Amino acid sequence: MNCFTCERHLSAYIDDELPAPSRRELETHLDECPRCRAEFEAHQIAWEAAHQLRAEAAPEGLWEAIASHLEKPAESTRLDDLALMLRGLAAQVQDLQRSVDGLRQDMEEAETWPADQGQVRQGIRVRANPFVPGPSRESSIERFRQSS
């Protein structure tokens, strides 16, 4: 398992939604990769903190304060606001770069598959698919139309 795949599956792992083989593979990766282990621990801390929060009643007059703020004419964008937007964009670019790096690593790993695990289609190695679709069935919308 690579870091990109590990990060994609962390939430499912924490929620105990991964099948056993994927879970073991992810745990092995977490044992070997300090960066992913730190990311996992950060996810786990956030998850635990979120579950300890209690909902409280909104303060009296909150909606009136929000509505009065919305009615004010828009101010021009300040330099601080632009800097904040730029930081947000930079974070999104970093996330995109991690996704691209993960996909690139997945593609490199795909090129090292044994020949019996897949086939080449238009220059791209495709894993063998054991799934065979069953017989087609009527869609629920068609059944609804027939019953009407």
What is the average pLDDT score of the chain? 77
Give pLDDT tens digits for 109-144: 766 655 444 454 445 555 455 455 555 555 555 665
Average confidence (pLDDT) over 28-55: 88
Q: Enumerate residues 6+ apart whose C-beta is below 8 A from 126.
A: 118, 119, 120
In this predicted structure, what is the pLDDT of residue 118? Answer: 47
Q: What percent of the chain has pLDDT over 90?
A: 15
Token pair of 133 as six digits = 């679709």
C-alpha separations of 145 from 75, 83, 136, 140 in Å: 53, 55, 18, 9
Give pLDDT tens digits for 78-95: 888 888 888 888 888 888
Token pair of 65 as six digits = 């304060």
19-23, 44-48, 56-60 — which one is most confidently predicted on average?
Answer: 19-23
